[in-house]
Structure formats: structure tokens, C-alpha cells
């Protein structure tokens, strides 16, 4: 039970991690990621092991260059580890064919990025519908737009929406696919603090009410106060994992 809250950091346990998924959504097992640029070899992640549990709000905290995006890319099936494994419900992503990895990115992961990445010549509802068309069992795009608080703005283009509203569209686009896991890369990084807290509230509500697992990466220490669990990265290594039994509501967070 203790290991559940501390995460998966012990070498001796890694072999068991490969076979015993015990209800965890995702396992990162002894992952190292090396980038080579000419003669320069850079270890972006060094022997990282971590469990991600169904329905938790997990914040991965670390300074610039600590390996946060690299970790998110591996979890999201956008890149492969140099060493080690990422397991989704006990299935090793490294054994997935190209087609199965595409399925994984479409059906399992909802990505939310710092700069929204909306298609500028499509309206809000069209951006959401585009994602809905990728999956087998999407939610209703209009209902999802309503859920994120954008009822009435369905026919607006991104340029006609504020930053916070654009991020809501981006969250709706991730959510409409009804994935179990939302991966959020600095989702409030381009927003003022009031709007940022509203977006964090929305993500927390999706976690609590719709049972989505949320993994949010940030360099902003204050945001970690709302997490069920916090993972701290430094220089490609996990230096701390801790559980917060009484996370703060986003409205109480100051930065």
C-alpha cells in the first residue's frame, strides 16, 4: 500500500512491475532516454520508474531541462525509451505495432498543450468534432463544449476566443475522445493566474467527476499543491515522490 503512494522506484521490484499491473493505469519501468546529437550524448531520463494510478491527479514538477516533456512523450506513445519499458494496463508499448501505437495515442491519451494547438480556420466545435472523428466511441461534441463552459461559443474561431477559452476548446478536444488519461504539458503556462486557476479547476473536475487520470507537468511549484501525488524530477532523475492526502483546491493556490 505504501508503495502505491511512493511510486515505483525500487530496482528489485521492477521485474514484478512487468507482470503485476494490480489495477494501475500505467507503469514506467526503469526508463532511460538518450538523445544523441553528433558526438554529444544526452541522458534526458535516467533509470526512471513510476506508477500512475487510475483516477489520480499527478503533477510532475521540475525545472527547465529536467526531463518532464521527455517523460510525457514516452507515456503518450510519441517516443520510445532507449532502455526500459512503459506499460499501459500491463501491455508493453515497446511491443506495439505502428498501428497499435496509433490506436493508443488516439483512444487512450488526451493531450493538452501550453499553446492550445487549435486549427485556426476551424471553429471551436469543428476542432472538437475533428478529434471525435478519430475514435470509435466519442462523447457528444456539443455536450463536451458545454462541459468545459463554452456553450454559446461553438461557432467562434480560435482568434475570436481568449487564451483561457482556447485552452477550454483544447481540453474539449482531448476530452471528446473519452480517453482514460489526460496528459497536460504546462496547460496554464500561457495564461494569467486567474484564468490559469479556472483551467486547473476544470481539469480537477474532469478528474473527480469523470474519473479521468490527469498527469500535469509544470515547473510551477505552486500548482503541485492541488495534486494527489507529486513527482519531482531533477536532471533526468526522480528525486522525490510524495502523496498529498489533502490537496488544496486550485482557487486557494497563489503564484
SS3 of 172-195: the string is HHHHCCCCCEEEEECCCCCCCHHH
Q: What does the alpha-carbon distance between residue 114 and residue 112 come to, in Å, rounded to a whole number?
A: 7
The 3-state DSSP class for residue 124 equals: helix
β-partners of residue 231 are 60, 241
Which window, 21-29, 58-66, 155-163, 246-254, contacts ligand ATP (CB under 6 A)? Answer: 58-66
Burial pattern 79-99, b for ≥16 Cβ within 10 A else e, equals bbbeebbbbbeeeebeebeee
Give the count of residues interacting with ligand ATP (CB under 6 A): 13
Which window, 62-70, 80-88, 117-125, 141-149, contacts ligand ATP (CB under 6 A)? Answer: 62-70
Beta carbon of residue 216, minimum distance to ligand ATP (angstroms, whole number): 12
Length of the chain: 255
Which window, 10-18, 35-43, 133-141, 205-213, contacts ligand ATP (CB under 6 A)? Answer: 35-43
β-partners of residue 31 are 48
Binding residue (CB under 6 A) for ligand ATP from 9, 49, 69, 225: 69
Binding residue (CB under 6 A) for ligand ATP from 37, 41, 159, 194: 37
Tell me: does residue 68 bind ligand ATP (CB under 6 A). Answer: yes
Block residue for cell numbers 476542432: 127
Tell me: does residue 189 bind ligand ATP (CB under 6 A). Answer: no
Give the nearer residue to ligand ATP in terms of CB position, either 127 or 218. 218
Give the nearer residue to ligand ATP in terms of CB position, either 42 or 119. 42
Q: How many Å from the N-terminal Cα to the C-terminal Cα in the chain?
A: 33
Residue 243 grid cell:
502523496
Tell me: does residue 41 bind ligand ATP (CB under 6 A). Answer: no
Binding residue (CB under 6 A) for ligand ATP from 10, 22, 35, 252: 35
Give the nearer residue to ligand ATP in terms of CB position, either 44 or 172. 44
CB 94, CB 86: distance < 8 Å: yes
Q: Which of residues 200-239 bind ligand ATP (CB under 6 A)?
A: 219
Which window, 64-72, 80-88, 95-103, 138-146, contacts ligand ATP (CB under 6 A)? Answer: 64-72
Beta carbons within 8 Å of 97's beta carbon, 6+ residues apart: none
Beta carbon of residue 107, minimum distance to ligand ATP (angstroms, whole number): 25
Binding residue (CB under 6 A) for ligand ATP from 17, 28, 31, 44: 44
CB 109, CB 78: distance < 8 Å: no
Largest CA distance in the chain: 55
Given the rule CB under 6 A, which residues bind ligand ATP? 35, 37, 42, 44, 62, 64-70, 219
Amino acid at each position: 500500500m505504501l508503495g502505491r503512494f511512493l511510486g515505483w522506484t525500487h530496482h528489485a521490484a521492477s521485474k514484478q512491475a512487468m507482470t503485476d499491473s494490480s489495477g494501475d493505469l500505467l507503469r514506467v519501468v526503469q526508463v532511460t532516454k538518450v538523445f544523441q546529437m553528433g558526438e554529444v550524448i544526452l541522458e534526458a531520463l535516467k533509470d526512471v520508474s513510476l506508477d500512475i494510478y487510475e483516477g489520480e491527479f499527478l503533477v510532475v514538477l521540475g525545472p527547465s531541462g529536467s526531463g518532464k516533456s521527455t517523460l510525457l512523450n514516452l507515456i503518450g506513445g510519441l517516443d520510445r525509451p532507449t532502455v526500459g519499458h512503459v506499460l499501459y494496463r500491463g501491455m508493453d508499448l515497446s511491443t506495439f505495432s505502428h498501428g497499435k501505437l496509433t490506436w493508443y495515442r488516439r483512444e487512450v491519451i488526451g493531450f493538452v498543450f501550453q499553446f492550445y494547438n487549435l486549427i485556426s480556420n476551424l471553429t471551436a466545435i469543428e476542432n472538437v468534432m475533428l478529434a471525435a472523428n478519430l475514435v470509435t466511441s466519442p462523447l457528444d461534441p456539443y455536450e463536451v463544449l458545454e462541459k468545459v463552459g463554452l456553450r454559446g461559443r461553438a461557432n467562434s474561431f480560435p482568434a475570436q476566443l481568449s487564451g483561457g477559452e482556447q485552452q477550454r476548446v483544447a481540453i474539449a478536444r482531448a476530452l471528446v475522445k473519452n480517453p482514460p488519461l489526460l496528459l497536460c504539458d504546462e496547460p496554464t503556462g500561457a495564461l494569467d493566474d486567474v484564468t490559469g486557476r479556472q483551467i486547473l479547476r476544470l481539469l480537477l473536475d474532469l478528474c473527480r467527476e469523470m474519473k479521468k487520470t490527469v498527469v500535469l507537468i509544470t515547473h510551477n511549484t505552486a500548482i503541485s499543491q492541488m495534486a494527489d501525488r507529486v513527482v519531482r524530477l531533477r536532471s533526468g532523475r526522480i528525486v522525490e515522490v510524495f502523496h498529498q492526502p489533502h490537496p488544496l483546491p486550485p482557487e486557494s493556490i497563489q503564484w
